[in-house]
Structure 1
Amino acid sequence: MGGGGREGRSYRSRTQRKHFKQSRENVWKRSKSDPSAPDSTDNPTWQPFATQNPAFDEYYKAQGIVAAEEWDRFVEVLRKALPAAFRINSSSQFCSDIRSQLENDFMKSLQAEVSEDSEAGAIRPLPWYPDNLAWQSNFSRMQLRKNQTLERFHEFLKLENEIGNITRQEAVSMVPPLFLDVQPDHFILDMCAAPGSKTFQLLEIIHQSTKPGSLPDGMVVANDLDVQRCNLLIHQTKRMCTANLIVTNHEAQHFPGCRSKSNASNKGIELESNINQLLFDRVLCDVPCSGDGTLRKAPDIWRKWNVGLGNGLHSLQLQIAMRGISLLKVGGRMVYSTCSMNPVENEAVVSEILRKCGGSVELVDVSTELPQLIRRPGLRSWKIRDKGVWLASYKDVPKYRRTGILPSMFPSGRSDVDPTDNGHKHENGTNVNSEDALQPMDNAVASVDDLDAEVSDLPLEHCMRLVPHDQNSGAFFIAVLQKVSPLAAVEEKPLSPEGNSVPKKDDEPHTTLLDHIPEDKNGKVEVADDTNEKCPEGGSTEANLIDTEEGGATLEVDSSNACEIHDTEETEMHFDKETDSGRIGAKRKLQVQGKWKGVDPVVFFKDETIISSIKTFYGINESFMLNDHLVTRNSDAKHVKRIYYVSNSVKDILELNFRVGQQLKITSVGLKMFERQTSREGTAAPCSFRISSEGLPVILPYITKQILCASATDFKHLLQYKTIKFPDFVDAEFGENASKLMMGCCVIVLRKGSNASTVPVQVNESTIAIGCWKGRGSLSVMVTAVDCQELLERLLVRIETQKDNSMPENNVEAAEAQDPDNNGTKEGTDSIGIAINA
């Protein structure tokens, strides 16, 4: 959460300029010749961050975030490393397998690594998260990386996270989507979505109850202002393999409403849509914030923290929240959340939303939901601190500070000051002149205890604040709002951080970072795991547009200056892709076609010849709708490399976007379904497009040609050796059938038991299939090495489970006596297990 938005960047830039102007000491880098630098004899070890800040203590003690008797415990936990947490993808076909592995394997094997007096255990499911799908370890991220005895568990987390079977995410960050009460048919807007952990969670929820080959009626629009953070968002959500997602790049406070005035065709293309305005059933408003709730994972915030961080973001947070309310359907629900403990960023924003919306919006009491989640009620009274002064109400704000300290920051929200007051008076009755204005007025309030703070008359106790020492987590604030009637006709103009009116229309496109991208050198993006939230304070970035397999424009970032991303795995994602000329890593010229400079247009794919050839080659059932559901990012149909599939809901929004003049700036859309294929055999393949691994699960139930069932042994061998000649398959009949397939892409399904191969293949949630290439003399797997490794491990787990369930204990010795060396070549589980481990 912190520091997003143009205003946030401007604020940070001013702070940085001030930092360098005052020549502050760089505590991170010392010259080798610096006599004050510690040498190996005086201080051989690295010194951690100082985990204290007097201003922090003074501020939050005064706000009453926790009771006085809890303060020491509160700060003690804040200074400890944050435990690692992760969530199992509920829509993954291996969901139950992974949960079983955690419950029956790692919970027991890791127990020896925790202290005997620990009651929490090595790893445990979070009690408040449904169905044991979220877990928290008793180890910090640093311990997981450095402790060799935890290596197997760490490798498990890395592999499953990369595949998309789990998502590594801070525990409290998982809470806001749960209070949205998402249903599979909901249209959802995630306003400030990067790096994408909550977006992934929302997609999981809408996909959870869908059957193989079917798509939910709902969809998610994930938006972020920062283009390079959109890269992280795309990379994160790509693991979900969904056709129900649109990623956009807009200022959240000015997100387009896409109001359609007519159903007229767009440039001769007839478009019929079920919607005429972009409204959402659910809105997640996880706004940029000061981020002091993340102190446990980002201890550098201790030295950076000051009260001005929260005060400076209040106006932007309010603008974003009000825009979210305006885009919410009547009867819809919005969750407002931050990873800050500051009431100026939390209760003050919620209070002003309720005041602005009158009776149109209600604060929902969700105290009975997730009963095992320990939460504190919201505050109804708080104080404002500015320039070293405590302020009880807006009338106490000096005139020279009224552009930065707004009435909405106070519990009452009142701005009833004397209009004839030309300056705030000190207690001695003298006005503040320009020179006085530069000095903190320490004599204005003797002590915070002397303040008679305002008390809000709104039901703010329905908000919730999660604090670290309640459940060994980070801190978070959450408020659930419901729109019960349309907003008043008079829409207030958005305010700048200084409180000034900003005359911009809702649907007006706004200039963003993407419009001023320099064409420059190659770089790389440091990819965060989802324990990262919006950065509380970031630096300037250099970004360069390049081509990615998403088809749209994304950015490379000079990570030396970029906003710090706390990457659990410290992995780097390189975006050098094949260009039109076939060269790797070559610089690609920016496309100027379409409305948004540097972003490839979204175009419906209408080439009937190609679509017909795909249907014929794979025998795709007519019940699977391809027409009007395929899009590309290339206007030239003859040079299309990738074809994406979109759900009905996404199709409707794309059609609406065309009608309103492409107001949505789309950086990624749809599920990659087909890719133009090339091979050493040249153009011998009758179909020029292959099925992508991402799209295979969706289209699999509808394929009637180019599909075969393989025994567990042959399926495992394909994963292990990647390429096998037809005569070398254990099942000779399978090898012969494979040789008879047409040249090109084919699908191999893992046969269940000894059942004969049937066409069409019967598909359910447990069906495992991979894409392969049928060449002249062999079959080759078209799956990444990571996916092959994961499938091999999952096969081993399933085979061992089936063996334990099907083989009585008293028959194990007899089976081993018949084949003591486990050399059976049939579909025996022992031979498969040995090969997998080889």
Structure 2
Amino acid sequence: MGRGRQRGRSQRKHFKESRENAWKRPKSDPTVDASGNAAPEKPSWEPILTDNPNFEEYYKEQGIVKAEEWDMFMEILRKPLPAAFRVNANGQFCDEIISILENDFVKSLQAEAIEGGESEAIKPLPWYPKNLAWHSNFSRKQIRKNKTLERFHEFLKLENEVGNMTRQEAVSMVPPLFLDVHPDHFVLDMCAAPGSKTFQLLEIIHGASEPGTLPNGLVVANDVDFQRSNLLIHQTKRMCTSNLIVTNHEGQQFPGCRLNKSRASEKGISEDMPINQLAFDRVLCDVPCSGDGTLRKAPDIWRKWNSGMGNGLHSLQVILAMRGLSLLKVGGKMIYSTCSMNPVEDEAVVAEILRRCGDSVELLDVSDKLPELIRRPGLKTWKVRDKGGWFTSYKDVPQNRRGGVLVSMFPSGKNLKDSAETTEKNENGGVNSCEDECKEADTSVVDAIPDEPVVEVSDLPLERCMRIIPHDQNTGAFFIAVLHKVSPLPEFEKPNPRRNPSTKNADSSEKPVGEKAAVVTADVVPEESAVEEVIEADSNNEKDEKDAVDEVDEVIEADSNIEKNDDSLVEPEKKTTEGESITEDKEADSSKAGGKRKVPMQGKWKGFDPVVFLKDEAVINSIKAFYGIKDESFPLVGHLVARNTDTSSVKRIYYVSQSVKEVLQLNFAVGQQLKIASVGLKMFERQTAKEGSTCTFRISSEGLPVILPYITKQVLYTPMADFKHLLQYKSIKFPDFVNQKLGQKVIDLVLGCCVVILSDGEEAVKVDASTIAISCWRGKNSLGVMVTSDDCQELLQRLTEKTPKSEDGSVNGSNGDSSGPQAMETA
């Protein structure tokens, strides 16, 4: 779906940066040197240097690993990261895929592993439950380039695209496992893009709910960047869930949507709403970081790394974590995590959180969870590096450097010198004279350098944090802390709700040292002018950008490739961008004068179409009547939303769960504070045909698994042979069905969308999680599938594996496929 007629600032910025000027000539010809002679040819590829003296000095000084482990630590960091992937626990073919991995690829790739010096090619991660996550001893580059791994590569690509599998770094899978998510929980993923952890959270919520029912909880996936929100939508739509909301906010300004009862009564809003504030049972705060834990998959970080990267993000990380805790319900849990090894971004942030929150938040000891995961305790002491050198205590920092080096970066989080002076003043029962104060001011820089450096050791239980080191289990690096909110946060100075701090220069935008930092505890209500602007993207979020490149390497656009038959009744699905739900793209109406397209109606947030409940009874009743859906079994009223207030122009209708419905109702009541990029599950799409249909909306492939048990009309039960022919040839004329009776049953269907269910005996079967079905279009003379080519290919492979072979090698139940090509030639 398009983005609308206008672009926000962040959209324009990305557009300008990515667009190549084909007319701009280079200032000089690279093939000719300054004297006009032919320049020597440069090699087309140069190896990336995996060396940075500043990096080695920094982490040796921090004591991240013991001295005797240092060489092993550096050696593994210079090796490419092995590929890892995770099987969708809720996928229809989960067991089959695990069986293929165990019985096919483990053996077929063994020779390649031995040649590479490895004992095993692929193996399940021992700490991940139910053998759902797998580790490969091949890097992603090897899998893409090695010819002997081509079949394995194609398998990973296809299963990832259809949603049966997610390619994800092993350590990235860890945080959701410690979050203890239940199916009725409201979960917030604050910095969600590219969406692999969000997908994981959705798996947990759906996997723990009763089969055939929707969970009572939901996941709100947020990201500050507009383009990464598109990628997030593309990733999560493979889950086919109605329990998801994707938002586009700065994490530290995420709205709490608190309903003021007095204002609600003034506006005539009922006070009996299910929820009157957006609060969460679980929060995943995987913050932007310097990303040096991803060196193995992003070796360009070697060249760019410096200690200032972590220092500059420290304040933003603290603010994000505090906002996450303020949105967390009492009794809830929050994960703070980074893909950085820097203690200034890790233990220092956790320590500052605990100091600010006092007894209201505790750091949990989860050392008994996932015992096979090798992790190390958090550090209790560390140093801070700045341009001026190393500092072991804040009192060592000169006054002219205290704008970039903050007291919260140190283990104690205190200005020891100021504390000592305060104690001395209290003991003397007075204050220093003016002369003493002037003297101190004149010599503050000199006095800041002590005779003996003080080594600070934190008195907080930071050893309960988890630090994953690459050479322990051949992974990347990660840091995780599990926080439990035991009581409301203490009342600190409330921030100015109209202040919109930039995330680009987090280190320079902080308050001067000595002032008490504000804690984000109040709901942020943007002013009207701010609501009309797209918030500037965070340029420091390199971690998310790397995930976007590495975890979703080959995003394949969904393409139905529905072949038109002679009737030309079925309109092929148009390719859509990953962010199709952000704006509702209106088709041009040729009947209008000049064929001009309508200007889309904007919602409260510029560039984002409004989210509205679909209340057109004529549309809803036509859908219910056409597909035989009963309200008592599957209520549609109140659960259908659209991105266009004009019902006649609605192209897509989305279904939302009860929990998402309640959040949308609250959002409307508080003035639409949530900037929603995507919501719910695409259930129906407008479909046009020459002959027309009594219902203009067809069932989408994403929504079919949810609504299938409740459809009583337009259902066709098909034996294996004809089902496979549909997948293979995409369209079959009525006389060409292998089963002639089936052709007559198709004719008996009403013109329009129908559902074809695989059934051995052509009779109705009880629909459950194992039922295989696809959406089709019953045309005038033929039946055409409305499924993407990838889905057709994947289904064909699964059915071929399930179908037993006869003695001559042909597949039973398909007539040897002898009638298929002939039938299609006549078609």
Q: 1:596 Cα shift?
A: 0.9
Conservation of the 8 A alpha-carbon contact between 1:399 and 1:423: no
- Sequence identity, in percent? 63
How many angstroms apart in 2 are the aligned matches of 1:649 and 1:568? Answer: 29
Match of residue 462 from structure 2: 460
Match of residue 363 from structure 1: 363
Conservation of the 8 A alpha-carbon contact between 2:170 and 2:475: yes
Q: 1:343 Cα shift?
A: 0.3
Match of residue 258 from structure 1: 257
Q: 1:497 Cα shift?
A: 3.1
Counterpart code for 2:136: S
Equivalent residues in 2 for 1:528-539 (5 A)? Answer: 534-536=541-543
117 and 686 in structure 1: CA distance in 2 versus 1, 3 angstrom threshold: closer
How many angstroms apart in 1 are the aligned matches of 2:599 and 2:772? Answer: 40
Counterpart code for 2:660: V
Match of residue 317 from structure 1: 317
Match of residue 549 from structure 2: 565
SS at match of 2:803: helix
Equivalent residues in 2 for 1:427-466 (5 A)? Answer: 432=445, 451-466=453-468
Conservation of the 8 A alpha-carbon contact between 1:380 and 1:455: yes
SS at match of 2:463: helix
Match of residue 613 from structure 2: 604
330 and 513 in structure 1: CA distance in 2 versus 1, 3 angstrom threshold: closer
Match of residue 112 from structure 1: 111
473 and 40 in structure 1: CA distance in 2 versus 1, 3 angstrom threshold: farther
1:290 aligns with 2:290: yes
SS at match of 1:325: helix
Q: 1:756 Cα shift?
A: 4.3
451 and 321 in structure 1: CA distance in 2 versus 1, 3 angstrom threshold: same
346 and 613 in structure 1: CA distance in 2 versus 1, 3 angstrom threshold: same
Conservation of the 8 A alpha-carbon contact between 2:589 and 2:597: no
How many angstroms apart in 2 are the aligned matches of 1:101 and 1:666? Answer: 39
Task: Name the TM-score, length of structure 2 as normaliser.
Answer: 0.83
How many angstroms apart in 1 are the aligned matches of 2:121 and 2:439? Answer: 60
Equivalent residues in 2 for 1:160-199 (5 A)? Answer: 160-199=159-198
How many angstroms apart in 2 are the aligned matches of 1:593 and 1:271? Answer: 28
How many angstroms apart in 2 are the aligned matches of 1:472 and 1:587? Answer: 58
Match of residue 542 from structure 1: none
How many angstroms apart in 2 are the aligned matches of 1:708 and 1:273? Answer: 42
Match of residue 768 from structure 2: 764
Conservation of the 8 A alpha-carbon contact between 2:172 and 2:197: yes
Deviations 1:711-753 (A, max 9, x none): 00000000011111111111111111111000100000000x3
Q: 1:534 Cα shift?
A: 5.0
Q: 1:589 Cα shift?
A: 7.6
Conservation of the 8 A alpha-carbon contact between 2:586 and 2:600: no
1:697 aligns with 2:705: yes
Q: 1:580 Cα shift?
A: 2.1
How many angstroms apart in 2 are the aligned matches of 1:514 and 1:701? Answer: 42
Counterpart code for 1:700: L
Counterpart code for 1:795: L
Counterpart code for 1:294: T
Instruction: In structure 2, list runs of 5 or more residues that go unmatched.
Output: 1-9, 18-27, 422-435, 512-516, 558-574
How many angstroms apart in 2 are the aligned matches of 1:284 and 1:99? Answer: 28
Conservation of the 8 A alpha-carbon contact between 2:718 and 2:762: no
Equivalent residues in 2 for 1:485-504 (5 A)? Answer: 485-491=487-493, 493=495, 497-498=507-508, 499-500=510-511
Conservation of the 8 A alpha-carbon contact between 2:88 and 2:163: yes
Deviations 1:301-342 (A, max 9, x none): 111111100000000000000000011111111000000000
571 and 630 in structure 1: CA distance in 2 versus 1, 3 angstrom threshold: closer
1:470 aligns with 2:480: no
1:688 aligns with 2:672: no
How many angstroms apart in 1 are the aligned matches of 2:281 and 2:66? Answer: 38
Deviations 1:476-520 (A, max 9, x none): 0000000111112335549863321679963222788982699xx
SS at match of 1:336: strand
How many angstroms apart in 2 are the aligned matches of 1:582 and 1:605? Answer: 22
Instruction: In structure 1, list runs of 5 or more residues that go unmatched.
Output: 1-8, 17-28, 434-440, 519-532, 539-561, 804-814
Conservation of the 8 A alpha-carbon contact between 1:287 and 1:320: yes
SS at match of 2:276: coil
Counterpart code for 2:769: E
Conservation of the 8 A alpha-carbon contact between 1:746 and 1:774: yes
2:646 to 630, 633, 636: 636
Equivalent residues in 2 for 1:707-722 (5 A)? Answer: 707-722=715-730
Deviations 1:501-559 (A, max 9, x none): 679963222788982699xxxxxxxxxxxxxx952598xxxxxxxxxxxxxxxxxxxxx
649 and 737 in structure 1: CA distance in 2 versus 1, 3 angstrom threshold: same
827 and 271 in structure 1: CA distance in 2 versus 1, 3 angstrom threshold: farther
Conservation of the 8 A alpha-carbon contact between 2:82 and 2:140: yes
How many angstroms apart in 1 are the aligned matches of 2:491 and 2:196? Answer: 36
Q: 1:637 Cα shift?
A: 1.6
Match of residue 279 from structure 2: 279
209 and 45 in structure 1: CA distance in 2 versus 1, 3 angstrom threshold: same
SS at match of 1:478: strand
Match of residue 23 from structure 1: none
Equivalent residues in 2 for 1:640-651 (5 A)? Answer: 640-651=650-661
Conservation of the 8 A alpha-carbon contact between 2:803 and 2:811: no
1:664 to 657, 666, 674: 674
Deviations 1:408-456 (A, max 9, x none): 111001134448878999xxx96659xxxxxxx9x9699xxx7432000
Match of residue 436 from structure 1: none
769 and 430 in structure 1: CA distance in 2 versus 1, 3 angstrom threshold: same
How many angstroms apart in 2 are the aligned matches of 1:464 and 1:703? Answer: 49
1:581 aligns with 2:599: no
Equivalent residues in 2 for 1:141-152 (5 A)? Answer: 141-152=140-151
SS at match of 1:239: helix
430 and 587 in structure 1: CA distance in 2 versus 1, 3 angstrom threshold: farther
Match of residue 515 from structure 1: 533
1:595 to 604, 609, 620: 604
1:773 to 777, 781, 789: 777
SS at match of 2:533: helix
SS at match of 1:288: coil
SS at match of 2:524: coil
1:617 aligns with 2:623: no
SS at match of 2:784: strand
Q: 1:594 Cα shift?
A: 2.6
Deviations 1:550-587 (A, max 9, x none): xxxxxxxxxxxx9983476455767568642069xx99
Equivalent residues in 2 for 1:787-798 (5 A)? Answer: 787-798=791-802
Conservation of the 8 A alpha-carbon contact between 1:51 and 1:299: yes
Q: 1:397 Cα shift?
A: 1.2
